[in-house]
Amino acid sequence: MAVFDYSPWRFWADADEAQRSRQLELQARLNARPGCEIGGDCFVSELASVDNEELRLGPRSYIAAGAYLTGKLRAGRDCTINPYAVVRGDITLGDAVRIGAHTSLLAFDHTFTDPDVEIFRQPLTSRGIRVGTDVWIGSHVVILDGVTVGDRSVIAAGAVVTKDVPGGAVVGGNPARVLKWRVPPTATPPPGARVTGDLAGAVAAFADTARAQAERILDRCFVPASGLFVDRPGQAPTVRAQCDAVEIADLLLRRAPDQLPASDQIARLTMWQDPATGMVGALRPDGSRHTPEPGLFDAAARYHVLCAGYALDLLGAAFDHPVRVVADATADRIVAGLESQPWTTNAWSAGDWVDVLGTAIHWNRRLGEPGRPGATEALFGWLLAHADPRTGVWGSPRPEDGLLQVVNGFYRASRGTFAQFGLPVPYPERVVDTVLAHAADPRVVRPDRQNACNILDIAHPLWLTRHTGHREEETVRLARGLLADALGHWTDARGFGFRAPHPAASGDPATGPGLQGTEMWLAIVWLLADLVGVADSLGYRPRGVHRPEPAAQPSQSWPAPSRKLSGGPR
């Protein structure tokens, strides 16, 4: 069968019965393995090394001789892995992906941050590789971990791909760059313009623009004299600005911000944590830090549990200390804190308190600190018992702003608990009803009224409950309109403002582009694009505060992560 091992596309047309029988026996042995599923009319060479813990091949896909496969591979229909290709790690291929001979897809990375430890003894990291549909990857290509390759793209022979490939692009070189377009991108719409045509093309063009301008946006908000980021030029430094810079760089550049070595950013964020409380205090205008107040929670410090914790996580590190004020809190203390929140008058503030509590529990478990017995159960039990079965949310609407507080509060409370820990929210269909009713309020969604907080707090709950299929057409229609609006909020070389730019909002400082607005709107665009079904065209996926996947399981036994940067910037 040697000829078919190297030219498998001829097998089902030219092989004789004995050869076909032998191939089907091989596939039957593979299918008997846990996590293995071979589709119809596939071919797997006996001369390939197939050592996957999960292998799923769609119909008419093949693996040629000399190919080396490990890890998890999920491939669609008509995919080809040609001779001597190396496909290792967590890899997903869409339909009709052609991988040339001697090409390597390496969805893992060695760390080498500790010079006193031999590299092979240091841990591996893995973010995975995602390849879209109708993609041609030439021979002798190398694609590194964390890369997303967009639909209908082409990677020229010999390319070394270290960052995401836009949909429809032809890339080549080392490192790979866009050479031309197989499918021309749609121009990014001007601010205030509404996209009504090809959303996939529009979001791809937007993402290309954002990536090309990311370094300028970060540099605009960096103050070399202090070595600190500010949200916007002329403002004082904040803890959040440092973290937003890390998130933006991770989203668009897949590396730490270039303005300061990643190791220095890790050292700074960990140094800012108060060992006694585990909180990170607010910065003074001169860059020095306030000491956080004891107890649950210092209002000026509590969001830093989220942003500093996730910035460290993106940098491959973690807090040095548990969030002690949460680790020491009893179940009774947590219930008392929940009962004392202003659920009827300011549900957003109450949800913010829950978000911080849930995220602190997450970081503590990562450090091996489980907290006091029953404390986590008290948090989730209270939320389950107090969710309104009529609305699916916590709190009550107010005459002055309708459902705004309860929807925004639901986002914050569910993000830090159910979403972060991978648990189903109570009454998800009622949540959809409530959010859609809220989204019909022109005070919130009219283009001149939109801000990042209010649109994020619509997008995330609808994304979190999308599995129900409840009122799906209405959800997609809403998401499509909000996404079209969001793409028009971008300001060239400056990013997003917290509030959408609009003539009616001129003079409002919140419309000024900055790091907070840019970080939040980038996440909003991904959530809305995923609801519409075009997120793959963006080529990025949030991994920090607004990550769509769960960050923890409540029963998980957490290993202590490395305090140092994992891998090198790419």
**What length is written for the chain?**
570
pLDDT for res 555 = 32
Q: Give the span between the Cα atoms of 319 and 305, in whole angstroms.
A: 10
C-alpha closest to that of 569 among 319, 320, 314, 318: 314
pLDDT for res 556 = 33
Listed residues 153, 181, 209: the one ending a domain? 181
Q: Do 141 and 41 lie in a common domain?
A: yes
499: helix, strand or coil: strand
Listed residues 181, 209, 243: the one ending a domain? 181
Q: Do 88 and 132 lie in a common domain?
A: yes
Contact residues for 19 (Cβ-Cβ < 8 A; gap 6+): 1, 4, 11
For tokens 């916007």, the residue is 232
Q: What is the DSSP string of 538-566?
A: T-----STT-SS-S--TT--PPPPPSS--
Asked if 445 contacts 477 with a C-beta cutoff of 8 angstroms, the reply is: no
Query: In angstroms, how far is CA 490 from the centroid of its own chain?
Result: 20
Strand duo 228-229 + 222-223: pairing? antiparallel
Low-confidence residues in the chain, pLDDT < 70: 1, 184-197, 552-570
Exposed e or buried b per residue across 281-303, where buried means at least 16 C-beta atoms within 10 angstroms of its C-beta? bbbeeeeebeebeeebbbeebbb
Listed residues 181, 210, 245: the one ending a domain? 181
186 part of a folded domain:
no
CATH code where residue 435 lies:
1.50.10
354 part of a folded domain:
yes
Q: Give the span between the Cα atoms of 410 and 361, in whole angstroms.
A: 19
Strand duo 104-107 + 124-125: pairing? unpaired
40 part of a folded domain:
yes
204: helix, strand or coil: helix
* Strands of 151-288, DSSP E: 154-155, 160-161, 169-172, 177-181, 222-223, 228-229
Q: Phi-psi bin for 533: left (phi > 0), alpha (psi -120 to 50), beta?
A: left
Bridge-partner residues for 51, per DSSP? 70
CATH code where residue 65 lies:
2.160.10.10
Q: Do 208 and 153 lie in a common domain?
A: no
Q: Do 126 and 230 lie in a common domain?
A: no
What residue numbers bound the domain in which 402 lies?
Answer: 199-537
**Which tokens sit at 78?**
């008509």
Q: Give the span between the Cα atoms of 548 and 536, in whole angstroms.
A: 14
Q: Do 103 and 240 lie in a common domain?
A: no
Q: Do 399 and 459 lie in a common domain?
A: yes
Q: Do 435 and 515 lie in a common domain?
A: yes
Q: Do 413 and 514 lie in a common domain?
A: yes
Q: Do 214 and 104 lie in a common domain?
A: no
Q: Phi-psi bin for 217: left (phi > 0), alpha (psi -120 to 50), beta?
A: alpha
Q: Give the span between the Cα atoms of 312 and 268, in whole angstroms.
A: 10
Q: Do 445 and 379 lie in a common domain?
A: yes
Count the neighbouring beta carbons within 10 Å of the beta carbon of residue 435.
29
Bridge-partner residues for 181, per DSSP? 169
Q: Do 122 and 227 lie in a common domain?
A: no
pLDDT for res 283 = 94
542 part of a folded domain:
no
Question: CA angle 291-510-540, nearest 5°?
Answer: 85
Q: How many domains does the chain have?
A: 2
Q: Do 280 and 394 lie in a common domain?
A: yes
C-alpha closest to that of 184 among 171, 201, 162: 201
